[in-house]
Amino acid sequence: MTDPSKTAAPADPAQPTRVQVAGSAGTASYEVFIGRQLLGELPALIGSGVKRVAVLHPEALSATGEALRADLAEQGFEAIAIQLPNAEESKTAEVAAYCWKALGQTGFTRSDVIVGVGGGATTDLAGFVAATWLRGVRWIAVPTTVLGMVDAAVGGKTGINTAEGKNLVGAFHPPSGVLCDLAALDSLPANDYVSGLAEVIKAGFIADPVILELIEADPAGARSPRGPHTAELLERSIRVKADVVSSDLKESGLREILNYGHTLAHAIEKNERYNWRHGAAVSVGMVFAAELGRLAGRLDDATADRHRAILDSVGLPLSYRGDQWPRLLETMRVDKKSRGDLLRFIVLDGLGKPTVLEGPDPAVLLAAYGEVAK
């Protein structure tokens, strides 16, 4: 991996930063735009030869979705808006089928484009619909949350949830472009903003320690979209993910490191029927992974303790219900990283040194969970 700490900031802060995501496995490369007032870039990303555009948006962003549809209509596209349920409620087979029906009734062809506007759940669903309609049409992500910008919208992993677990049905289908308009974060509820910081902090621990240093120097600033380092924190996090997915689109090896903290996190989310914010679950999952690494003799005490200090400084949770361990363990056995009956976890051998821990001793697992149980 390249060293994101050596990436220079753009010379003109008024211009959007562009992060290139290289194509692989027969997919085209694309750019992630980071800045403010970026919707003017959308028509160019959609491109010529496109007749129809479907704007998928959650109910909470109905005004935004309709305004975007109207703007695209003025640009000459046949634009429709498809309203989705909010958050994880949109990531179901039923909602996907509703979208397919709308596309069919509109006469959507392979030369048309889907635009997903919203948080990570919306872009996951929009990308999955794009991947499955006519065996794949182009789509563009317009994430409106921290989580969507630094994680869900970059990398081409799309999917829906089932009763058995999160993201178990999906496809690798990279977008044609991603517009991360930081202005969208100004009106984001504080808890949603802070939740997204878990993925930012994750990027710091697995690849770019400068992220951790910026947050430690100003935790209050990190909690605000108007903080002095907001753009840099998001850009660094996006570059970490872009670097990884450029090398491993389909999670055949390196990409697994992006799941640091996610094995337990997904189990917590399912246990809470997706009423917990993803970032809150990832925060607990990272504390667990740090303790697992420490108990397995892989991670030093200082780095393990640093997880708790940084996550707590921005207001993220560090613990979960102790009586739920048997249910969580059963859910983790069907996690995407598991192989047969072999549980696999991403842990750290040190700061910025993620690795896989296979088949840990059940007693070590239980002891690690004991450190996060309340």
b/e map of 149-183 (b: 16 or more CB within 10 Å)?
bbbbbbbbbbbbbeeebbbebbbbbbbbbbbbbbe
> In the annotation, is 307 catalytic?
no
Establish whether 120 is an annotated binding residue: yes
- Is 217 exposed, middle or buried (CB count within 10 Å of its CB: 0-12, 13-18, 19+)? exposed
- Report H helices in the chain: 42-46, 62-74, 93-106, 120-132, 146-147, 190-206, 209-217, 219-222, 230-247, 262-271, 278-295, 301-313, 325-332, 362-370
Q: Report d(CA 185, CA 189) in Å as an integer.
A: 9
Establish whether 106 is an annotated binding residue: no
Catalytic residue among 52, 57, 91, 157: 157
Catalytic residue among 236, 255, 270, 344: 255
> In the annotation, is 135 catalytic?
yes
Catalytic residue among 69, 138, 266, 344: 266
Establish whether 157 is an annotated binding residue: yes
- Is 49 exposed, middle or buried (CB count within 10 Å of its CB: 0-12, 13-18, 19+)? exposed
Establish whether 262 is an annotated binding residue: yes
> In the annotation, is 173 catalytic?
no
Catalytic residue among 41, 199, 235, 291: 199
Establish whether 123 is an annotated binding residue: yes
> In the annotation, is 262 catalytic?
yes
Establish whether 6 is an annotated binding residue: no
Catalytic residue among 31, 259, 337, 344: 259
> In the annotation, is 251 catalytic?
yes
> In the annotation, is 199 catalytic?
yes
Catalytic residue among 52, 91, 202, 278: 278
Establish whether 144 is an annotated binding residue: yes
Establish whether 199 is an annotated binding residue: yes
Instruction: Confirm if 160 and 128 have CB atoms less than 8 A apart.
Output: yes
Instruction: Confirm if 150 and 193 have CB atoms less than 8 A apart.
Output: no
Catalytic residue among 251, 256, 269, 291: 251
Catalytic residue among 241, 307, 337, 344: 241
Catalytic residue among 173, 236, 262, 337: 262
> In the annotation, is 278 catalytic?
yes
> In the annotation, is 52 catalytic?
no
3-state class of 78 per DSSP? strand
Annotated binding site for Zn(2+): 199, 262, 278
Residues with a known catalytic role = 135, 157, 199, 241, 251, 255, 259, 262, 266, 278
Annotated binding site: 120-124, 144-145, 157, 166, 199, 262, 278
Annotated binding site for NAD(+): 120-124, 144-145, 157, 166
